[in-house]
Amino acid sequence: MFRLFANSSKGAALRTAPKSQQVRNLSIHEYMSANLLSEAGIKVPKGSVATTPEEAYQAAKKLGTSDLVIKAQVLAGGRGKGHFDSGLQGGVKTIFSPEEARDLANKMIGHKIFTKQTGAHGKECNKVFIVERKYVRREYYFAILMDRATQGPVVVASSQGGVDIETVAAENPDAIVKLPVDIKKGLSLESAQGLADKLGFVGNAREEAADTFVKLYKLFLAKDATQIEINPLVETSDHQVMCMDAKFGFDDNASFRQKDVFSLRDPTQEDPREVQAEKWNLNYIGLDGRIGCLVNGAGLAMSTMDIIKLHGGEPANFLDVGGSATAQQICEAFKIISSDAGVSAALVNIFGGIMRCDVVAQGIIDAVKELDLKIPLVVRLQGTNVEQGKKLINESGIAIFPCDDLDKAADLVVKLSDITSLAQKAGVHASLSLA
């Protein structure tokens, strides 16, 4: 995805997060995107999705051609250069028969694929998309995004498609065309024709390209999309303009009025911790560190992560429980943190305004007892009902490290994490308590 406009409000909190996790909008599979495009009257190659090797065989047979492509359906980029745990290299393959479709589907479905965007854990492929192969004359790039500068949509396009657009932007920025769109007026046919001219479309392909641009923009608005990316958009050998691959993103705030779109969500492609967090109305993003964080308020969560890093530690997550969490939500938050086997210590940093410290304390106590939590837990409580909260913790008999000063709390949790990590590597259990 061509990341033209960064969301600076989240940047500080998420700078240690994998890029694939920074945008918290719904993404859908390629075959679903192709269906949306087709329904909008936009040309796409014919294709069928399959969940078993036999279904892949039947899908290829039904298309009635020997020029086919099989594509692994995972929510990650770089499939073509990825590899499977089955030993198969590449998640996008040209095939020439139904038998070949069945054979490759067997090596894709039920196996994990590893790409530059999946991380070391990879993503399991549960479906494949069998499509007719089109012979192309030229490849283009087309995307619609939201522009913070103009406070509206912007079209980003290039005559150099089918490749990493970020590389094109870095090496040949003049090849990138940007067209801001007045959201009140929309993308006019004249503007779309002008864009087609700049990209080099001629003849009938020019008119078809312009029509495709207008339809893509209407779809962008109608579905409350945050992005539509077509890479490549092509002119075929018979001068048709087609979308060969599509990525959609949708605004989560529009889920109440885009129920058909959000019914396409595939939780199996998401971090199960994030799925669980959403059920409990918690804001969670998994990171790669070893120190779990439980904080109320995004700003305080970001500063907590920063101070952990300042003391040499690495946060294992961003977790904002919000301003009105219940004891049950706090308990569920700890379940999510403790489900990460890499976490070796945790820091709770609560400033009680609307949130009451005694409610947080009760949630902590319930979680430690229910989960039999073994990792060191540093707790900083300030604000509403703080004394009641401290009293609950002190009388609970649970080994918790209280600390009123955030700087000292961060320093302590980093040291405790280091000790626990060393013990884990040595294969021993370390039971820590205050001297």
Catalytic residues: 141, 229
Backbone phi, psi, residue 180, to 5°? -65, 145
Q: Is the dihedral of CA 301, 302, 303, 307 positive or negative?
A: positive
Residues 6, 121: Cα–Cα separation, whole Å: 26
CB 381 within 8 A of CB 360: yes
Residues 125, 84: Cα–Cα separation, whole Å: 9
What burial letters (b/e) apply to 92-121, b meaning 16+ CB within 10 Å? Answer: bbebeebebbbbbbbbbbbbbbbbebbeee
Edge-first strand listing for the sheet containing 83-84: 83-84, 111-114, 123-125
Residues 30, 27: Cα–Cα separation, whole Å: 9
Helical spans, DSSP H, in 172-325: 189-199, 203-222, 259-262, 272-279, 298-310
Spatial neighbors of 86 by CB under 8 A, at least 6 apart, are 107, 108, 111
Distance linking the first and last C-alpha atoms of the chain: 52
CB 320 within 8 A of CB 333: no
- Nearest 5°: the CA angle 392, 300, 400 is 30
Q: Give the strand pairing for 283-286 and 241-243.
A: unpaired
Enumerate the β-bridge partners of residue 246.
230
Residues 359, 355: Cα–Cα separation, whole Å: 8
Q: Is the dihedral of CA 177, 183, 186, 190 positive or negative?
A: negative
Residue 305, classed as helix, strand or coil, is helix
